[in-house]
Structure 1
Amino acid sequence: MKKHYVVFLPMLDAEKSAEHRQAHLDYLEAKWNEGVLSAYGRFVDGWGGMLVYAAESEEQVKEWAENDPYVIHKARTYEIHEWGLAKANLQV
């Protein structure tokens, strides 16, 4: 059974983040199309962003996070937390 994981992507370098933004967005679109990414977005205060993955294990999510262009190019770091999703209606 898949579990939900939240990945926080705190900003390390705003300049690198801007430089690698399109590659990051393309990577997220691929994960979305694979059906493993259910929500993502940036924090409007510039802190960074947040992703919500559905996966079999935290190790799988760690691999995805480490292959994100933002993380590869040290524009962002990451932090993973398993999320006990109870209910969601993200279209409100």
Structure 2
Amino acid sequence: MAHFAAILYMEKPELNQQFRPQHLDYLHTLEQAGKIFAKGPFTDGTGGLVIYIADSFAEAKELAEKDPYVLEGVRRLELHEWKI
């Protein structure tokens, strides 16, 4: 298993609160499945970070791209493998 940092840059702040419940529900489901190491917003309001646990970059990308924030264009995804 590897760790992948999903940086979620704010793109449409006006939609952030509308899709926040779906985003948090999605992450909660993945946490329960052991697929999230850490998560949280940036204090300056520019986005947030999710550290996924996955077998491959492809799996992490699939998980990150299914986040409602990404699907709805609220946040722009940048994904990197993270070496702890």
* Range into which the TM-score falls when normalised by the shorter chain: over 0.9
Who is 2:45 aligned against?
46
Q: Within 2, Cα distance between the matches of 1:23 and 1:81?
A: 24
TM normalised by structure 1 equals 0.89
Shift of 1:15: 1.2
Q: Within 2, Cα distance between the matches of 1:24 and 1:52?
A: 14
* Count of residues paired in the alignment: 84
Who is 2:78 aligned against?
79
Letter paired with 1:26: D
Shift of 1:66: 1.1
Q: Within 2, Cα distance between the matches of 1:58 and 1:16?
A: 28
Larger radius of gyration: 1
Shift of 1:65: 1.1
Cα-Cα RMSD: 0.6
Runs of 4+ in 1 over 4 A off after TM superposition: none
TM normalised by structure 2 equals 0.97
Tell me, which stretches of 5 or more residues in structure 1 are unaligned? 86-92
Q: Within 1, Cα distance between the matches of 2:69 and 2:27?
A: 11
Letter paired with 1:59: A
Who is 1:61 aligned against?
60
